[in-house]
Each structure stands twice: as C-alpha cells, then as structure tokens.
Chain A
C-alpha cells in the first residue's frame, strides 16, 4: 500500500509529466487560457491515460510479450491510443458540446500527445503490475491536471497584468512554465 502511495505521489509530483518529464507540452500551452478548459483537458488526458492502461497492459502482457512481439509495442500502442481518443472525442462531442468547441484541435491532438505514449512505454519499461500501472496512470493524470490547472489559473491572472509588449502571449506563458518547472524541482528526492 505504501509502495502504491509512493508511486502515486512520485508520478503526480516528483516526476510530473508536464513539468519534470516535459511530455505533452502542446495542450499545456494551447488550452490553458482559461481554468475550466485547462482542468477539463487535464481530466480528458487522465481518462485517456487510464483507458489506455486498461487496454494496453493486458494487450502487452498477455499477447505481445508471450508471442515475442515486443517490437510491435510502439506501433500497436499508437494504434490503440488513436482509437481511444476517437472514442473520447465522440463521447465529449455528445455529452459536452461546449467543451468540445473549447478543446478545438487539441482534443484529436491527444492522439499524438507524447504523455500518453510515454506513460505506456514507461509502464512497459518499469515492468509495472496491472495495479501499479493503474495507479501510475491515475497519478500521472492527476499531475497533468494539477499542472494544467495551475498554469491556467496563473494565465488568467496574467490577463490583467501589465506584461511588456514583447513578452505578451506565448512569451510570458513559456516563462511561467519555466518557473513552474523550476519550482517542481523542489519535489526531487521526495519518495523514490
């Protein structure tokens, strides 16, 4: 139990996907203009992460590994992730049309979000059990949602700040991201 808790904290804070591993940066800058869209995107990424672990762990450990087809992992993972994102897109389009418009291109772009593929490859590389993989996915997703939410909150405040003209927009966003990443280094050494 302690081990799982450590894994959760480790994936959410210490090895935060966005701010420490620098995976899946495009929605981090793309949809963090407002808090609601940012957090929703984090939740969307989390659900794709959990869903891909639910599908990919059995697929890899019960089919690919026994058949000696480990070399297929990248191709197969991309295929499965793409299909899962399509599912998610349909669900969101049906259930939350306004969110669907807010996400715009970034929703189908989860397909090529390296955080998802990175999660799957780390899961295989670290030889996690099914339970560990699930905790890892939820933790990583929570970390992504946390970082997205923080970034969006800061950027909402920045709208009212007197930013020098040359730094407005992406410039100040990248500086904010850098300082956030720096502060997340404070978690290094916590847990594993």
Chain B
C-alpha cells in the first residue's frame, strides 16, 4: 500500500516537474521572441469580429490579421465587421481614407413554401439541401426554388437564419452580418446577399417560362413583365423569364409590388425589420 502511494506521488511529481519546466521555458522564449509585428497582429486580431467564420476567404480572424499587417488585405476584406469596426481597423493600420461600406444582408429569393408549391417526389436521405439537390434536383416541383432542408440556417455562424414552420428560411436582419456563407452553401442560389438599402427584390429565382412556373408554384415569377411596364423609374428589367430589380434606380415606390399578379415582387417594410414568412 505504502509503495503504491509513493509511486503515485513520485510519478505525479516527475510529470509535474517536467511539465512546469517546459511551460516556464516556453513562456520565457515566447516573450523574448515576441516582436512588434506580432503585437500588431494581435491587436488587429482583437479588433476583428473574432467569429472565425472564414467569410473573408482566410482560415480565420488571425489569418486575416496577418494579411492586414502585411498589407495583403484591406479592412473591408472582412465582410462581417461593422462600419465602426472597419474604421478602427483602418486607424490601427494608419490608413487615412475614410472607408464607407454599405451594410449587406442575406435575402431569401423564394416564396414557395410547402402549402403553395407542388412536389413531384419525396426525398429521403441526408437532410441537407446540397445532398437533396444532387438527387435529380430534389423533390420539389420547381427545380429552382428553396428545398427547405435548412442548410443555410445551419451554416450561419450568427444564428440569423431560422426555418419557418412551412419550410422556408427566415433571415433575422438584425443578426445577419452579410458574410455570404449561406449564399455559398445554398445549392439553388436562392439566398443572395444584397445591400440592406435595397428594399425591393424579386422573391423568385426560377428562369422557367411562366406556364411551367404556374404549374408548380403559386407565387413564382411568371415573367409577365407587368412590373417592367408599371415601373416609373425603369428599374425593372426581364432576364429571360425572370424579373430583376436594379437597386440603383429603384425608389421603393411599391407600384410593382402592388401590381405583381403572383406576389413574387417583394418590398421590405422598414418598420418590420424582419422578413415575414408567408
């Protein structure tokens, strides 16, 4: 018994001594070799949002900070940082130009929830839109629209996307940072990151002819062109069978939204803040 206890004590002491020795030595060396450059990188890392979402294309905030310090990136490379954060980064880097960047948010360009869209097959398998899309473009009648399996909501590092009970993503614009990870993950291109100031957009991505859209969805863009004709600013144009809003011309008067026969044209109401799911 005594032998066991003493073995435990010596073993612990040995491990502890060796561990402590290396810990102290490593810290001492790290302190000695720390340079001004390292300090700047650390400072920049702290100024970045710190979510390590990778939306800038780097491995994480520390990698972007390194690129910033080397001058290989600009503060705006971080698509997530707020304007004040970018301002601070620019100050830390000694950049004098005022940086202005529009706030961007993700918008869902499909309104075909389960109750109003046709389904041609049941998909059984991994519950991920990317997997479902690989199998004959998924079970939805519309091969362009949202599959509703919530891949976007799972890749969002900010918890800004939730799935509505009817199976459409809902973006909480207060939480959305416009990082674009959902846009990249969506196999259908349904989610797009737009300037937050763009108030009118087409809530459909189907490029199919109107008759085909009608047969699978009640709220898709049928390419009738009414919006193009009623717009007083000529801000809407047709790309094939799909209407497209030019945000630079749109004044958000709302006429196209009112006249759209399928409600595909959408306007964001400023007081609502959150896009309401149908």
Report which of B7, B22, B25, B29 forms a contact with A69, defined as CB distance below 8 A.
B7
Q: Which stretch, B13-21, B81-89, B203-211, B212-220, touches the partner chain A?
A: B13-21
Count chain A residues whose beta carbon lies closer than 8 angstroms to a beta carbon of B.
18
Q: Which of A32-70 contact B (CB under 8 A)?
A: 59, 63-64, 67-69
Q: Which of A65-98 contact B (CB under 8 A)?
A: 67-69, 71-72, 75-76, 79-80, 83, 86-87, 90, 93-94
Count chain B residues whose beta carbon lies closer than 8 angstroms to a beta carbon of A.
14
Decide yes or no whether B10 CB sits under 8 A from chain A. yes
Inter-chain contact B15/A79, CB cutoff 8 Å: yes
Task: List the B side residues contacting A90 at CB < 8 Å.
Answer: 29-30, 33
Inter-chain contact A68/B7, CB cutoff 8 Å: yes
CA distance A180 to B210 in the complex (A): 62
Smallest CB gap from A83: residue in B: B22
Q: With a 10 A CB-CB cut-off, give which of A59, A69, A93 has the most chain B CB atoms.
A: A69
Q: Which of B18-62 contact A (CB under 8 A)?
A: 18-19, 22, 25-26, 29-30, 33, 35
| Contact (A76, B14) CB under 8 Å given A68-B7, A83-B22 | yes
Inter-chain contact A86/B15, CB cutoff 8 Å: no
CA distance A189 to B33 in the complex (A): 48
CA distance A56 to B14 in the complex (A): 13
Task: List the A side residues contacting B19 at CB < 8 Å.
Answer: 79
Report which of A63, A67, A79 forms a contact with B22, defined as CB distance below 8 A.
A79
Decide yes or no whether B73 CB sits under 8 A from chain A. no
Task: List the A side residues contacting B35 at CB < 8 Å.
Answer: 94
Inter-chain contact A67/B14, CB cutoff 8 Å: yes
Report which of B14, B22, B30, B33 forms a contact with A72, defined as CB distance below 8 A.
B14
CA distance A83 to B30 in the complex (A): 12
CA distance A86 to B22 in the complex (A): 10
Inter-chain contact B30/A80, CB cutoff 8 Å: no
Inter-chain contact B14/A69, CB cutoff 8 Å: yes
Decide yes or no whether B95 CB sits under 8 A from chain A. no
CA distance A71 to B29 in the complex (A): 31
CA distance A72 to B17 in the complex (A): 13
Q: Which residues of A line the B interface, CB within 8 A?
A: 59, 63-64, 67-69, 71-72, 75-76, 79-80, 83, 86-87, 90, 93-94
Q: Which residues of B line the A interface, CB within 8 A?
A: 7, 10-11, 14-15, 18-19, 22, 25-26, 29-30, 33, 35
Pairs A–B under 8 Å by Cβ, sample size 26: A63-B14, A67-B10, A67-B14, A68-B7, A69-B7, A69-B10, A69-B11, A69-B14, A71-B11, A72-B14, A72-B15, A75-B15, A76-B14, A76-B18, A79-B15, A79-B18, A79-B22, A80-B22, A83-B26, A86-B26, A87-B25, A87-B26, A87-B29, A90-B33, A93-B33, A94-B35
Given contacts A80-B18, A80-B22, A94-B33, 12 further A-B contacts (CB under 8 A): A64-B14, A67-B10, A67-B14, A69-B7, A69-B14, A76-B18, A79-B18, A79-B22, A83-B25, A83-B26, A90-B29, A90-B30
